[in-house]
Amino acid sequence: MISMTATPLPAELEAVIFDWAGTLVDFGSFAPTRVFVDAFAQFGMEVSLEQARGPMGVGKWDHIRALCDEPAIANQYEARFGRLPTDDDVTAIYERFLPMQLEKVAQYSAAIPGAAELLRALRRQGLKIGSCSGYPSSVMRRVVERAAAEGLEPDCIVASDDVPRARPAPAMALKNVVELGISDVAGCVKVDDTAPGIEEGRRAGMWTVGLLLSGNAAGLALDEYLKLDEAGRQQARERARRELSPAGPHYLIDTVADLPAALADVQARLAAGKRP
C-alpha cells in the first residue's frame, strides 16, 4: 500500500447555515422550553426550565425521550403510572406537546436584534443563507411565517422531520448543502446556540460558530440580557462557554450581530488554504 499526502482542496466561503430558536429568533430559546414544562405538567410531572433546556438542539421527540430518561423525571412518571416511560409514553407526551407548541411558538419567535440586518448583509456579499431546526415542519411553518414578516427569509429551511436522523447527526446541515447547490462543505459556516447544533455542523465538515448569550446555553430573556452590566454578561458567557465548548466550536460569539468578524476570519483562513 502506498501512502500519499493529499493536497488541501481550495474552498471559498459560500453559505451560512443558521439554527432558528436562540439564533435567529426567540432570544433565550423560550418557546420550546416553556412548552416542555407545560406538556409534562399535563401528565402530572414537574419539570423545571433548567431541566427542559438540557437536551436542547435535538429533535423534539428525542428531547422528550432524553428528559424521560432523567432519573428525577422517570421516577415521577413511575410513581404516577407504575412503570418507567416507554417509547409509546414518550410519543403520548410528544403528541400533547406538539399542539401546544403550535399554539405558542409564534408568540415567542420574535427576531433576535441584528438578525434581519445580518441576513441582508450576507446577501449583499453574495452568500447563500441556509437554516435548520429541531422543530418539526408543522411548527416551522408558524415560525417562518412570523420571521418573514420581520425580514428573516433564508434561502433554505430544513425541519427535523425532513431527514431520517436529526441533530447531532449532520443530515439537516447537509440537506442545506444539497438544496443550496454548495460546491464544498468547507465553504459553509454553521451557526447555533446548542452543543448538538454545533456538533451537527462539525460532523457535516463545516466551520462552526456557537452563540453564548442569545440562546439556550445562557437562558436569558432579551430584557434580562439588556439589563446586565458587563460583569453579569461575562458570568453568562462563562456559563454558556462551559456548555458549548465540549462540542468544539471554531468560534464563540455573543449573538448573530457579532458574526461578521468571525466570517471575515473564516474567509482569511480559507484563502490561506485552511479547512475546518
Q: Which of the four pLDDT bands, split at 50, 70 and 90, describes residue 104?
A: confident
Only one residue has cell 453559505, namely 15
pLDDT at residue 97 greater than cutoff 90 = no
Phi-psi region of 114 (alpha: psi -120 to 50; beta: other; left: phi over 0): left
Only one residue has cell 406538556, namely 39
Read off the DSSP letter of residue 112.
P
Q: What's the predicted TM-score (pTM) here?
A: 0.86
pLDDT at 60: 85
pLDDT at 118: 98
User: Is 265 among the residues known to form the active site?
Assistant: no
User: Is 274 among the residues known to form the active site?
Assistant: no
Among 60-64, 117-121, 141-145, 177-181, name the one with the lowest average pLDDT: 60-64
Enter the C-alpha cell of residue 147.
Answer: 420571521
pLDDT at 268: 97
Name the segment(s) of the chain with CATH classification 1.10.150.240: 31-106
pLDDT at residue 33 greater than cutoff 90 = no
- Model confidence pLDDT, tens digit, residues 1-12: 676 777 778 899
pLDDT at 50: 83
CA dist list (Å): 244 to 116, 138, 162, 225, 240:
25, 28, 25, 19, 6
Enter the C-alpha cell of residue 57.
Answer: 438542539
- Model confidence pLDDT, tens digit, residues 74-94: 999 999 999 999 999 999 988
Distance in angstroms (rounded) separating the CA atoms of residues 66 and 50: 14
Cis peptide before 168 (omega within 30 of 0): yes
pLDDT at 99: 87
Rounded mean pLDDT, 15-23: 97
Query: What rounded mean pLDDT belongs to the chain?
Result: 93
For the domain 15-30+109-269, what is the CATH superfamily, name and number? Answer: HAD superfamily/HAD-like (3.40.50.1000)
Distance in angstroms (rounded) separating the CA atoms of residues 94 and 36: 9
- Model confidence pLDDT, tens digit, residues 111-170: 999 999 999 999 999 999 999 999 899 999 999 999 999 999 999 999 999 999 999 999
Rounded mean pLDDT, 36-52: 86
- For the chain, state the CA radius of gyration: 19
Beta strands (DSSP E) in 7-136 are 15-18, 128-131
Q: How many CB atoms lie within 10 A of CB 187?
A: 23
Catalytic site residue from 26, 60, 62, 192: 60
Catalytic site residue from 19, 62, 193, 258: 19
Nearest CA-CA partner of 61 in 24, 89, 20: 89
pLDDT at 6: 72
Phi, psi of 136 (to 5 degrees): -70, 165
Q: Which fold has domain 31-106?
A: DNA polymerase; domain 1 (1.10.150)
Name the segment(s) of the chain with CATH classification 3.40.50.1000: 15-30+109-269
- Model confidence pLDDT, tens digit, residues 233-265: 999 999 999 999 999 999 999 999 999 999 999
Rounded mean pLDDT, 37-44: 86
Distance in angstroms (rounded) separating the CA atoms of residues 134 and 173: 12
Nearest CA-CA partner of 196 in 27, 60, 41: 60
Rounded mean pLDDT, 57-67: 85
Q: Which of the four pLDDT bands, split at 50, 70 and 90, describes residue 53?
A: confident
